[in-house]
């Protein structure tokens, strides 16, 4: 069965470029992102893993651990990293899972037979400190992911986990947010001292509370 939001992210033990890891132990109390790529030594994947490495500080400041996976063996990953570092002018220092037996790919439903019987699709899973899946994204092999959007969603997930707010369309860090319907206007005024704007009884905004 496909994994759904709120499900516990499946645990596993696997060989990676950083040694053998137990996934839940490796995550600890951090947020995490596990993302799959169709194959080593392919052009789009090279740019994606390079971009992830370039964004190391952005993931770190959000407390997000990153790990990649494909069904290629460990020696292939190790050689490919050299190409990524060279062509993308970066240093890949996050683990890459060598999933040659497809254990992780099958646990996370990363192989879609109607797209490819062998290669993993471009899946993204954002996982919270409670080990629950907070976001899933699936891209076709032909389309590289937008990592700026992934960071934007992480910002929203972390904000809305701690405050009774939601984020509107195209929201980015620092912009006004929406007070969730479960909070009455009277309570919202007390809860959000920066002010509450009532657009409609069901649509109320407030400045981002943690800024």
Q: Which residues are catalytic?
A: 45
CA atoms of 124 and 140, how far apart (whole Å):
12
User: CB of 64 within 8 A of CB of 30?
Assistant: yes
H helix runs in 19-136, sequence order: 23-27, 43-54, 56-61, 74-88, 103-107
How large is the angle between the packed helices 74-88 and 43-54, nearest 10 degrees? 70
Is-contact 102 111, C-beta < 8 A?
yes
Among 103, 121, 114, 113, smallest CA distance to 37 is for: 121
| CA–CA dist 73, 78 (Å, integer) | 9
């Amino acid at each position: 069965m496909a994994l759904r939001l709120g499900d516990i992210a499946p645990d596993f033990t696997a060989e990676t470029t950083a040694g053998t890891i137990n996934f839940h132990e490796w995550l600890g109390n951090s947020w995490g992102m596990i993302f799959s790529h169709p194959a080593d030594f392919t052009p789009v994947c090279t740019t994606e893993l390079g971009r992830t490495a370039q964004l190391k500080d952005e993931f770190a400041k959000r407390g997000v651990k990153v790990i990649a996976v494909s069904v290629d063996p460990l020696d292939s990953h190790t050689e490919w990293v050299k190409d990524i570092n060279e062509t993308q002018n970066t240093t890949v220092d996050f683990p890459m899972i060598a999933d040659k037996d497809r254990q992780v790919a099958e646990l996370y439903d990363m192989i879609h037979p109607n797209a490819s019987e062998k290669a993993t699709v471009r899946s993204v899973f954002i996982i919270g400190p409670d080990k629950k899946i907070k976001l899933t994204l699936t891209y076709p092999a032909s389309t590289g992911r937008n990592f700026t959007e992934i960071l934007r969603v992480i910002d929203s997930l972390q904000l809305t986990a701690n405050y009774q707010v939601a984020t509107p369309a195209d929201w980015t860090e620092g912009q006004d947010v929406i007070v969730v319907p479960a909070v009455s206007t009277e309570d919202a005024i007390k809860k959000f001292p920066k002010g509450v704007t009532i657009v409609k009884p069901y649509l109320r905004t407030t400045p981002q509370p943690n800024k």
